[in-house]
Each structure stands twice: as C-alpha cells, then as structure tokens.
Amino acid sequence: MGVSLSYTYARIPIGMATRELQTLAEREYEEVGQKDLDRLNVDWARYGELDAAGKLATFIAKRNGVIVGYAAFIVQTHIHYQDALVAANSAVYAVPEVRAGRVVLKLLRFAEMGLKAQGVQKIYYHVKQTKDFGRLLEHLGYQDVERMYAKVVRRREVA
C-alpha cells in the first residue's frame, strides 16, 4: 500500500514561514533564477512591510505539513487605472517532486480565489522562458498579453 500524500492550501502572512520560503526560494533560484545579477538576496523585511500594508498576498501549498510551493503577489491599484486593484505575481514555485500532479494548478486556483475575494480585478504573471508555464495559465483562462525584456546595465561591485 502506498503512502498517502495530503495537500493543503493556505494564505499566510509571509513572516509566518520566512525560513521555509527562503529554502524554497534558493531551490527556485538554482533551477530557474537569472544568474546575471550577483546572487539571490531576498528582501524579507520589504516583503514584510508590503504584507503589513496589505499589499502582499502569499499563498502556499503544503504536503503533509511541509511547504512544497508558493505564489506571492504584490497587490495595489494600477498606476494607469487608479480605481483597479491588480495583483502582480512576484514569485511562483513548486518543488519538482510535486509538479507531476495538480498541485500547481490547485495552488494557482486557490490564489486566484483569494485575490478575487480581496477585490483584485486583474492578475498578472510573468513567465520565464526557461520554465514556461504559460500553457497552465492559458488552461486557467489567462492570456499572453505582453513580453518582458531585461538587460543588466551595471553589475554591482563585489568587495
């Protein structure tokens, strides 16, 4: 008989799980991070400030009590449409060992429901070319509406 895997989904204050999220962020960085800047250096204090101001929404997936995925969003009014509350995905990640199932799908659906309940009118995701999950987003009803380009114009001097 196989081991039963139990998944749960929740919205949490980011400070509640910073250590676990840091560990997952490091895994995400190693797998898909853009290594053109010096190193991963998450500003957890700033995330906490955004959370305290009601401008951050953090959703997690847990398997048997351990966080295996997250989706974090910056929530604010749109600068071009000041009466529209929007959510821009800051990060989304699930450990490789849970991706074969529907964990990511369920996490993104859960996040969408939570954001909608908060009054968010539009949700934005940025998708890396190296780990393109656009097909999943399209399955959820999202449209590919624009591309993002990046260029490092100055590297920070390392002492």
For the stretch 37-54, pLDDT in tens is 677 889 999 999 999 999
Q: What is the CATH number of the domain that holds 60?
A: 3.40.630.30
On whether residue 25 sits in a domain, the answer given is yes
For the stretch 107-156, pLDDT in tens is 999 999 999 999 999 999 998 887 889 999 999 999 999 888 888 887 66
35 pLDDT tier (thresholds 50, 70, 90): low
On whether residue 16 sits in a domain, the answer given is yes
On whether residue 19 sits in a domain, the answer given is yes
What residues make up the domain containing 60? Answer: 7-139
What pLDDT is attached to residue 132?
Answer: 87
For the stretch 72-120, pLDDT in tens is 999 999 999 999 999 999 999 999 999 888 999 999 999 999 999 999 9
On whether residue 15 sits in a domain, the answer given is yes
Sheet holding 122-124, edge to edge: 7-12, 56-63, 66-77, 85-94, 122-124
What pLDDT is attached to residue 1?
Answer: 47
Q: How many domains does the chain have?
A: 1
